[in-house]
Structures are given as C-alpha cells and as structure tokens.
Amino acid sequence: MKKSANISIDFKFIRSLLKMVEIRKLKSIFEEGGIHMTDKTLVCKDCGKEFVFTAGEQEFYKEKGFTNEPTRCKDCRIARKNERFNSRRNNDNDSWK
Ligand SMILES: [Zn+2]
C-alpha cells in the first residue's frame, strides 16, 4: 500500500521533470536559432494584395497556439474588425430601442 503510493508520486515527479526538460529543449532551440523564422509573403484573401507575415508575427502566432497563417492583410483585418465592431454596436443600439 505504502509502496505503491510512493511509486505513483515518483512517476508524477518524473513526468513533470520530463515536461520541464522538454520545454527547456524547445526554448533553447528557439534561443539558439535552431528554428529560423523568416518573413513570409502571403496573399490577402480579400484584396489579393501581397502582405508580409513577419518572423515576429509568426512567433506571436505560435506562442498563442494558432496553427493557421493569416489570410488577410493588415488593412483588411482592421477593416473587418471595424465592420464587426460597428455592426455589433448597431445591433446593440437596436436592442436598446
Ligand atoms: Zn487585404
């Protein structure tokens, strides 16, 4: 009884240690430049213009856990955001009436 409890604790401990090591490994890969992030040129889905998905943005996306690349340029993204914001505000106004 006592023995098995100890084993399960050790197992958990080892697992958390392994996790820490893995994270450290990943971090060191990033810090040492093992993964080279370069600026990417993508084509906007809305206006068809080319836009740059910078290395910094790629890193930001990765950090946030996004796996998809942006499909719209900054202008279109801002335009869409404003549109959504305005339409929501209009809806809110309607509901207030
Ligand atoms: Zn665009």
Kindly state whether residues 60 and 13 are assigned to the same domain.
Answer: no
**pLDDT of amino acid 31:** 65
Rounded to an integer, what distance in angstroms lies between the CA atom of residue 43 and that of residue 12? 47
Kindly state whether residues 75 and 41 are assigned to the same domain.
Answer: yes
pLDDT band at 95 (very low <50, low <70, confident <90, very high): low
Number of domains the chain contains: 2
Distance 79 CA to ligand 1 centre (A): 9
Rounded to an integer, what distance in angstroms lies between the CA atom of residue 58 and that of residue 14? 33
- Which tokens is 8 given? 């399960």
* Strand partners of residue 40: 53
Strands in the chain per DSSP E? 40-43, 50-53
Distance 48 CA to ligand 1 centre (A): 6
Kindly state whether residues 48 and 72 are assigned to the same domain.
Answer: yes
Rounded to an integer, what distance in angstroms lies between the CA atom of residue 15 and that of residue 91? 50
Q: Is 50 in contact with 74 (CB distance < 8 Å)?
A: no
Domain that holds residue 43: 37-97
Kindly state whether residues 17 and 45 are assigned to the same domain.
Answer: no
Residues lying with their CB under 5 A of ligand 1, a single-atom ion: 44, 46-47, 73, 76
Kindly state whether residues 47 and 93 are assigned to the same domain.
Answer: yes
pLDDT tens digits for 25-77? 777 666 665 556 789 999 999 999 999 999 999 999 999 999 889 999 999 99
Distance 68 CA to ligand 1 centre (A): 17
Kindly state whether residues 53 and 74 are assigned to the same domain.
Answer: yes
